[in-house]
Amino acid sequence: MQTWVILSLFSAFFLATSDALTKKVISADNEYVIGWYRLVYALPVLFAALLAEPLPALDRTFVLAFGASVPLEIAAILLYYRALRVSPLSLSLPFLSFTPFFLMLFSRIVLGEAVSPAGGAGIALIVLGGYALNLSSLRTGVLEPFKAIIRERGSLYMVIIALIYSITSVLGKLAIEHSSAAFFGATYYSALALCLLPVVILRQGRASFFSVLRTSARAAVLPGIFDAGAAVTHFTAISMANVAYMIAVKRSSLLIGSLYGFLLFGERNIRERALGAVLMFAGFVLIVLFA
């Protein structure tokens, strides 16, 4: 199996684990602080990876790609929290799996990366599998989340988030090509943590922020460590492979997240998600063996 595939699967595992651990400690009072802590606690690992290699020479392309990615990523983070708050997960989360679909277009335009017919079919299967995986029930119809775009703001937010992630993934790879995976990861997370801090303080309230900061410090350690693992493997894998393929494989985090939901949170709709799992696995096989 190719190195980038292994790294992408590890990234999916680390991300799903970080999300599951976050779900166990997050509340309405600390959601923004926990999200910020995940960035901060990932920094020591990212900078340790950076110390293992020489600093790269930077150019104008890196600066432009980096500068464009940061505000888009912050917008996606804030929209994600809002989507989780205002809409049911079963109606909003399926659209997050659409990122690889958007990537097929943006990676071709920006990076010149073409997708083969087999690779395109694999991406389509993973997108459909991710969509089916997050439907808690098909009784209302498989098109229900699409109908919900009109009436549920959270569903619309998730479509926008998927679109933003497709753009930031392409810009991230472009920045990595003009620096290095380790350098981009460390500086990107640092910039996100710095830029997000005043937004979090504003939304949390200054007095409340420092109080929650103290009480949440220990709870956010493990989510932050696993988020660091997801970031290191993500940036390394994306430097090695077609970005659409890499993100499609990484979307197996949705399947891993479903298993965590069953094991840790008592979610009992595993059988309903079997179709999604089969579709995602078939897409994975197509990409790895034939793309």
53 vs 173: CA distance, rounded Å: 18
Q: Cα 25 to chain center, whole Å?
A: 19
What's residue 144's pLDDT?
A: 61
From 33, 47, 77, 93, select the one nearest 223 (Cα to Cα): 33
Averaged pLDDT for residues 275-284: 82
Model confidence at 52, in pLDDT bands (50, 70, 90)? confident
- pLDDT (tens digit per residue) in 238-271: 999 999 999 989 988 877 877 787 777 676 666 6
Reading the block at residue 129, the tokens are 């599998």
291 compared with 158, residue with greater pLDDT:
158
pLDDT at 184 over 60: yes
Provide mean pLDDT across the span 34-62.
Answer: 91
Rounded Cα distance, 231 and 239, in Å: 12
Number of domains in the chain: 1
Q: State pLDDT tens for residues 127-136.
A: 888 777 666 5
Looking at residue 121, its amino acid is A
Taking 60 as the threshold, does the pLDDT of residue 207 lie above it?
A: yes
Range of the domain at 76: 3-290
Per the CB < 8 A criterion, the answer to whether 212 and 33 are in contact is yes
Over residues 146-174, mean pLDDT: 83
pLDDT tens across 96-109, in order? Answer: 778 888 998 889 88
pLDDT of 66 over the 90 cut: yes
Residue-wise DSSP of the chain: --HHHHHHHHHHHHHHHHHHHHHHH--TTTHHHHHHHHHHHHHHHHHHHHHTSPPPP--HHHHHHHHHHHHHHHHHHHHHHHHHHHS-HHHHGGGGGGHHHHHHHHHHHHT-----HHHHHHHHHHHHHHHHHT-S-STT-TTHHHHHHHH-HHHHHHHHHHHHHHHHHHHHHHHHHTS-HHHHHHHHHHHHHHHHHHHHHHHH-HHHHHHHHHHHTTTTHHHHHHHHHHHHHHHHHHTTS-HHHHHHHHTTHHHHHHHHHHHHH----TGGGHHHHHHHHHHHHHHHHH-
Per-residue pLDDT tens over the stretch 8-27: 999 999 988 998 888 888 77
The upper half-sphere exposure of residue 132, i.e. CA atoms within 13 Å in the direction of its Cβ, equals 18
For the segment 138-142, the average pLDDT, to the nearest whole number, is: 57
The C-alpha angle 70, 75, 80, rounded to 5 degrees, equals 125
User: CA triplet 180, 166, 84: central angle to 5 degrees?
Assistant: 115
Residue 166 confidence class, pLDDT cut points 50, 70, 90: very high
What does pLDDT average to over the chain? 85
Tokens 């696993």 found at: 226
pLDDT at position 130 is 76
Of residues 272 and 232, which shows the higher confidence score?
A: 232
Q: How far apart are CA 138 and CA 201, in angstroms?
A: 40
- Nearest-angstrom CA–CA distance, 111 and 28: 40
Percent above pLDDT 70 for the chain: 86
Picking from 52-66, 185-199, 254-268, which range would have the lowest pLDDT averaged per residue?
A: 254-268
Region 117-141: mean pLDDT is: 75
The answer to whether residue 138 scores a pLDDT higher than 80 is no
Residue 240 is predicted with a pLDDT of 93
Read off the amino acid at residue 39.
Answer: L
